[in-house]
Every structure is written in structure tokens, then in C-alpha cells.
Amino acid sequence: MCDPNNPNIQNRTTPQWSLHYSACNAGLSWTHLASRQAFYRHRIIPRTCVDTNQRDTATEIFGHRVDAPIGFAPIGINRIYHPAGELSVAKVAEELKLTYCLSSAGSYSIEEVGKANGDGPRFVQLYQSHDDDQAISMMQRALDNGFDVCMLMTDTWSLAWHHNDFFTGNYAFYHDHGAGDLGLKDPVFQQRLKEAGINEKQNPMEFGAKWIDKNIWYGRAHTWEKVKWTMAQWKRISGGRSFCIKCIQNVEDAKKCVELYEFDGILVTNHAGRQVDGAVASLDVLEKIADAIMFDSCVRSAADVFKALALGAKYVFISRLWVWALSISREHGVRHMLKSLLAEFDLLMEEAGYPFIDRIDGSAIDSLPQAANLIAEHSGI
């Protein structure tokens, strides 16, 4: 499924270029490869003769009680994988009592996704807008629609060098695929369009470029001071609700987050290898950051979730797994994939001798030394 050229997917309705978009990594995919190999380095140590007849995978995240330490990572433009896009995913998240995080590059509005998610716990992930009024508008809309945790993306000042996208001439945000509709429908952005004299129906590419190139990506790398400002605005708007930083990969940065800026949460991730090629594996960084409460990068199985928890994560987000499921069979595919992962995780806890997730710690795994060799054939896993 991770190979867009796989003949077994030719009959699916999802266009090949969108599968290229989901599968591509930065540069030569070395970061993605390192991230997968990091999971192979850690081995679970099963315990025997433990009473695992009664198991509990439930946990709490930012005041929300959820059925498992597994959530839906924020991924943009879901409509390119299936017309139902984010709506299907948000619906399944509520059904399964798992956390859903909406990307500000989403293809449905905050209001529509909030409604689809019902009473489910939901976060919003923001890209740092170049327009302060628009950033505030997005945060206010999120809060008004039940998104009570704000997560700021900090590794995407520009999109990375993606060979597959260049090869296919693919830049979804410039085309009429509902790309970025979450922000395009923002009232402040609509006002900016009027000021610039851009008609979204007559000039769709210019319309998309205005949102992505002039508002979200390209031309501006923000600093800690701007991040501090964004947190202050969210705290003011939300009455002090939780604010998190996404894409921490450096121990010193993690210390700043906790000790200097007092952010409520850290998400350790390298964007699944999609931003900086040749970077460290997020799992290797996770074990060095004691205060990391969330993890996301190249998770493919229940064993991966278990290992991340053992290395210090309190909560694990999954990403490409549910994108592939969405592309196959809308909400039915997402539901089936998540139920399978949850069942696998429950079975693993039984077989490994861990009835409760709070018993999963560093003693549950054996870690091999970090190695320099890379196995190319695993790069697409």
C-alpha cells in the first residue's frame, strides 16, 4: 500500500497521484528509513505467569478519558484520498472513543469536522499563519466547535523536497481538490481575498497559492517568540486550555518547551520523514526526552505503539495507516483498520504479560545499540 505503483491498487478509486503524495518522503527517504529501523532496534521482553485476564487499555490525555493511548494524527487534504475526507475519520474517532486531531490544511471546515466528531475529544493542529488576525480567527473557530487543545506545527516553514511530487507535477494545494478548505473558508482569509481582488472560482490556482504560499508556508521561519505569542492568544481565547508543540526532535528544544516556555505538551515526531532528510529517528529521540507525552512517526503496528510507550510516550498518534484505510474504503476502511490495531494491541498486552498500560515502561524492552547500517529494501515500509 505504501508503493503508489503497486499493481494491486490500480482498480481503486483513489488517484495514483494522491497515493504518491501520501507515500512520498523528503529527499532519499533516509529519515523515514531510520524511523522504521529504530523500531527494529527495540525488542519487547514478555513476562510470563501474569494475570492478564482483565486488561485495560484506557488512559487520559489533557483531561479526556479515551479507550486507548492511540489517536488520529493530523493529516491535511484528506479529500484527495476519498471525497468524504476528514468527516469519515472524525466520525470513526468518536465511535471508538479515541482522540482526533484536525490539521489546519484540512479539506473540510472546522465547523463540518467538529460536527462529524460529535462528542469525541478533538484537538486542532495549526500551521503558524503569517497573518495574526487569521491565526486568532482559526483558533476562535476551533474553540467554538469543540476543539479544546491547540497543537502548533513547528517543522514546516516550507514543504520539503519530495521527489515523487516533482516527478508527477503534483502540488495538491494549487488544484481544485478541496485542498486546504478548512482555512480557505476562514472569514479573515475571505476578507484578504477581497482586498487582493482574487475570485476563487475564476482563479482557483491563485486562490490556493494565496492561502498556502502567502499565509502558511514559504518565506517565513518563525521563532520561539512567535510561538509564545500564539500560545498566549490560545490561552486568552480558550480560558487557559492546553497548548502543545509538535515536531520536537532536539533535547534542548524539549527543555525549552517545558522549563522556559511552560507548554502543556510535546509531540516528538519528524513528520514521518517528510520534512528533513537524513535526520534522526523520532523513536531514538523519544527515549532522551523524559517529559515527552506524545509520539508520532512511522507507527505501523501494536508492537510499535507498545515500544513507544515503553520509551516514555504517554500517547501515540498514527498517521499513514488511516490514510491508506481511508483511500481503500472510506469510513469502513478506517474503522476496520483501527479496530484491528486496537485488537492487536489488546492481544499483545495479554501475550506479553502487561494487563495495564501504566505498567509498560523501560523494563519492558531490550534495546540494541544504534547502528549505522541501513537496509534499503525496508525504506518503503
Give Cα separations from 155 to 161, 229, 334, 342 (angstroms): 14, 17, 27, 30
Q: Judge whether 299 is annotated as a binding position.
A: yes
Q: Judge whether 192 is annotated as a binding position.
A: no
Q: Judge whether 125 is annotated as a binding position.
A: yes
Q: Judge whether 171 is annotated as a binding position.
A: no
E strand or H helix at 315, and its extent?
A: strand 315-318
Bridge partners, 97 (sequence order): none
Asked if 324 contacts 22 with a C-beta cutoff of 8 angstroms, the reply is: yes
Nearest Cα neighbor of 247 from 339, 127, 82 is 127
Q: Judge whether 74 is annotated as a binding position.
A: yes
Q: Judge whether 296 is annotated as a binding position.
A: yes
Asked if 338 contacts 100 with a C-beta cutoff of 8 angstroms, the reply is: no
Distance of CA 368 to the CA centre of its chain: 28
Task: Classify 126 as helix, strand or coil.
Answer: strand
Give Cα separations from 106 to 3, 111, 114, 117 (angstroms): 23, 12, 12, 14
Q: Judge whether 107 is annotated as a binding position.
A: no
Give Cα separations from 145 to 109, 111, 149, 154, 288 (angstroms): 10, 6, 12, 24, 36
Q: Quick one: DSSP state of residue 212?
A: I
Q: Judge whether 69 is annotated as a binding position.
A: no
Q: Judge whether 127 is annotated as a binding position.
A: yes
Catalytic residue among 32, 82, 177, 271: 271
Give Cα separations from 298 to 125, 271, 341 (angstroms): 19, 9, 14
Q: Judge whether 274 is annotated as a binding position.
A: yes
Q: Judge whether 75 is annotated as a binding position.
A: yes
Catalytic annotation present for 336: no
**Amino acid identity at 75:** I
Q: Judge whether 297 is annotated as a binding position.
A: yes
Binding-site annotation, residues: 21, 74-76, 103, 125, 127, 246, 271, 274, 296-300
Binding-site annotation, residues for FMN: 74-76, 103, 125, 246, 296-300
Residues annotated as catalytic (active site), given as ranges: 271
Binding-site annotation, residues for glyoxylate: 21, 127, 271, 274
